[in-house]
């Protein structure tokens, strides 16, 4: 609403000064050009999947992602340096202040409740305070924020065990807690399904007897206090904000295929969400899902065709899930505001290999992918079998499939994570390409960054011994092999009309382990810039209009961060700096002087 009011006033005030502005704006609105749209994002923590991947996705659809300083949402495990304030989890007060400040100019928000209420995913499993005054203050602010803004929230059901290497927890404690949490509790229904009754039943099995465990009473009480705190907070939010929220994603973290301590919590939350949210297994894809939800809200929702390869789509997706593969795939797609249709009938096609499928199914899937590409059909591939043999990866690589022609791909971590990552990247990119009137080169670079990052994270380091010590070996499946295959591919640069182009060269460097474990390895993806674009077209959307003038002024004032390409486009006189002389020239070009 804030943006609409400011926009309307700007049109009225500036028509005389910028007569071409009205025409350009009307055209942009008709064609739904949201390049430069600001989206405020507070992640669940600073791991690459929640941080790097989300930045790349936003860039691939032309969004400007606003984020607080990393230190304010960083998690530090026991072997890591604490944050600046000495804490091992996010700074909730600073985040709240950042949110209040950002609210003055931004209308779109994707927010982690785990971060805002607990300082991150890991801390949400550890904090056990009973005085929730501050947490309710934050919750009330978020509830009010949703009344006048587009807000997507995401949160988690507490996992069955706390995190290893945090506050002294090690594998023995993890295993004992997971065993304790996995014991079936009495399933509550109807009017009996309340927060108080769920909490009262935490210590007791289905037979009503207290659950025996090698854990100490202190350890059990601590664990259950954290569960109690977390359940009360999400119940408070959902009881007050749903009618104003754009959407709410709830991920069931580290779940189980059987009835357990999470079951009543899942059922309670599911009842409260209704049609305005979703609850399913998975956590680390939720930030990506939130951004994509905004993309489809603004640009429109495609029909998504799904084809399965293998005969186990009706089985539990993996050991961390509680629903079938097909159910979870459909839930992920629908939660993005999209429609699921039969394979071959979608605007974009999703190919899924089911668990325990052999090489024959991988061959058929890649055959189908080649066929779709040849017939100008956008493709997403999901391999939700992180512990399966690498049949599909070998087919993609040895048959030299044009990797950057895939709009989305993932084989990362759990089945739900792979679904969310592949679908978010693919559906976002499809929707942008199909509906944006001015597709930018910056978005192409963002897509290439996300695609390259995904293939290296999901294939090379897992199956081929990818390491910092030896990152460039030439063996099939290595980092160098995959980058070479990406650079030998083309990419879809438009869908209306369908256009495939040779893309700029990608390279990777600066391999590092910010969480000091291979699983969370990250690195920089660089896309070579062949030229900087049109002088004066600061946002690189193919036009020189009022937005370019305003962006140039923001760069000069230091309120807009610009990369090398943007600086080159804003530097009209070529003196190596951005100042009044540059934005005056942009104004003259807008006016036709």
Q: In what order do the strands lie in the sheet with 406-410?
A: 339-342, 303-309, 348-353, 379-382, 406-410
Burial degree of 500 (CB within 10 A; 0-12, 13-18, 19+): middle
Name 63's Cβ contacts closer than 8 Å, sequence gap at least 6: 34, 36, 37, 38, 39, 291, 294, 295
Other beta carbons within 10 angstroms of residue 558's beta carbon come to: 8
Nearest to 259 by CA among 157, 175, 182: 182
Q: How long, in residues, is the chain?
A: 593
Mean pLDDT by 10 residues, the chain (593 residues): 44 36 34 90 96 97 97 92 93 98 97 98 94 97 96 95 83 90 96 98 96 94 97 95 92 84 96 91 95 97 97 88 91 97 97 91 97 97 78 89 96 91 98 93 94 88 53 61 90 91 90 78 86 78 81 83 74 82 86 75
Tokens of 128: 């056990």
Q: What distances in angstroms separate CA 283 from CA 50, 214, 317, one per listed residue?
A: 10, 29, 15
Nearest to 511 by CA among 461, 475, 560, 558: 461
- Can you tell me the distance from the alpha carbon of 29 to that of 498, in angstroms, rounded to the nearest whole number? 22
Instruction: Give domain 34-295's CATH number out of 1.20.5, 2.130.10, 3.40.50, 3.60.21.
Output: 3.40.50
Please report the sign of the dihedral spanned by the C-alpha atoms of residue 255, residue 256, residue 258, residue 260. Answer: negative
* 3-state SS track over 179-244: HHHHCCCCCCCHHHCCHHHHHHCCCECCCCCECCCCCCHHHHHHHHHHHHHHHHHHHHHHHHHCCC
Tokens of 85: 């304030």
φ and ψ at residue 426, rounded to 5 degrees: -70, -45
Tokens of 108: 């779109």
Instruction: Report CA 95 to chain centroid distance, whole Å.
Output: 19
Structural element, H or E, at residue 445: helix 441-455
Q: In terms of DSSP bridges, do strands 506-512 and 522-527 run parallel, antiparallel, or are they unpaired? A: antiparallel
Domain residue extents for the chain: 34-295, 300-527, 546-591
Nearest to 299 by CA among 492, 30, 54, 57: 30
Residues forming beta bridges with residue 157, ordered by sequence position: 252
Instruction: Report CA 138 to chain centroid distance, whole Å.
Output: 23
- Can you tell me the distance from the alpha carbon of 85 to that of 499, in angstroms, rounded to the nearest whole number? 50
- Can you tell me the distance from the alpha carbon of 56 to that of 79, in angstroms, rounded to the nearest whole number? 29
């Amino acid at each position: 609403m804030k943006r609409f009011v400011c926009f309307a006033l700007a049109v009225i005030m500036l028509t005389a000064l910028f007569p071409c502005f009205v025409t350009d704006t009307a055209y942009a609105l008709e064609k739904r050009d949201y390049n430069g749209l600001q989206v405020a994002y507070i992640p669940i923590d600073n791991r690459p999947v929640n941080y790097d991947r989300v930045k790349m996705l936003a860039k691939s659809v032309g969004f400007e992602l606003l984020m607080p300083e990393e230190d304010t949402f960083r998690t530090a495990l026991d072997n890591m340096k604490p944050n600046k304030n000495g804490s091992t989890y996010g700074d909730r007060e600073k985040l709240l202040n950042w949110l209040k400040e950002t609210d003055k100019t931004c209308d779109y928000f994707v927010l982690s409740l785990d971060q805002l209420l607990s300082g991150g995913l890991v801390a949400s499993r550890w904090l056990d305070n009973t005085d929730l005054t501050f947490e309710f203050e934050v919750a009330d602010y978020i509830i009010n924020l949703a009344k006048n803004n587009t807000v997507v929230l995401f949160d988690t059901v507490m996992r069955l065990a706390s995190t290893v290497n945090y506050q002294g927890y090690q594998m023995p404690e993890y295993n004992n807690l997971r065993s304790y949490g996995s014991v079936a509790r009495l399933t509550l229904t109807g009017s009996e399904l309340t927060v108080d009754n769920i909490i009262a039943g935490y210590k007791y099995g289905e037979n009503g007897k207290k659950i025996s465990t090698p854990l100490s009473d202190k350890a059990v009480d601590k664990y259950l206090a954290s569960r109690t705190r977390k359940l009360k907070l999400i119940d408070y939010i959902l009881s007050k904000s749903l009618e104003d929220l754009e959407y709410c994603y709830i991920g069931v973290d580290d779940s189980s295929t059987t009835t357990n301590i999470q079951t009543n919590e899942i059922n309670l939350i599911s009842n409260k969400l209704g049609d305005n949210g979703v609850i399913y297994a998975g956590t680390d894809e939720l930030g990506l899902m939130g951004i994509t939800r905004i993309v489809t809200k603004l640009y429109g929702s495609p029909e998504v065709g799904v084809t399965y390869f293998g005969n186990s789509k009706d089985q539990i997706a993996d050991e961390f899930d509680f629903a079938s593969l097909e159910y979870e795939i459909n839930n992920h797609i629908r939660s993005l505001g999209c429609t699921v249709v039969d394979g071959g009938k979608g605007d974009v096609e999703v190919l899924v290999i089911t668990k325990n499928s052999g090489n024959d199914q991988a061959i058929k899937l890649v055959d189908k992918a080649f066929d779709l590409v040849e017939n100008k059909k956008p493709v997403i591939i999901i391999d939700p079998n992180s512990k399966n043999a690498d049949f599909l990866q070998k087919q993609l690589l040895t048959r030299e499939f044009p990797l950057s022609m895939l709009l989305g791909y993932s084989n990362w971590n759990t089945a739900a994570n792979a679904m969310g990552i592949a679908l978010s990247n693919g559906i976002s990119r499809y929707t942008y390409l199909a509906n944006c009137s001015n597709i930018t080169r910056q978005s192409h670079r963002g897509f290439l960054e996300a695609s390259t990052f995904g293939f290296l994270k999901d294939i090379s380091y897992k199956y081929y011994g990818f390491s910092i010590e030896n990152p460039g070996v030439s063996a099939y499946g290595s980092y160098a092999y995959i980058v070479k295959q990406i650079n030998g591919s083309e990419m879809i640069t438009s869908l209306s009309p369908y256009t495939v182009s040779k893309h700029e060269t990608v390279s990777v460097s600066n391999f590092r382990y910010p969480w000091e474990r291979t699983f969370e390895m990250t690195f920089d993806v660089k896309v070579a810039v062949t030229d900087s674009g049109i002088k004066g077209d600061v946002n690189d959307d193919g036009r020189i209009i009022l937005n370019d003038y305003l962006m140039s002024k923001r760069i000069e004032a230091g309120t807009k961060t610009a990369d090398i390409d943007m600086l080159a486009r804003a530097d009209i006189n070529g003196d190596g700096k951005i100042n009044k002389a540059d934005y005056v020239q942009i104004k003259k070009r807008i006016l036709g002087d």
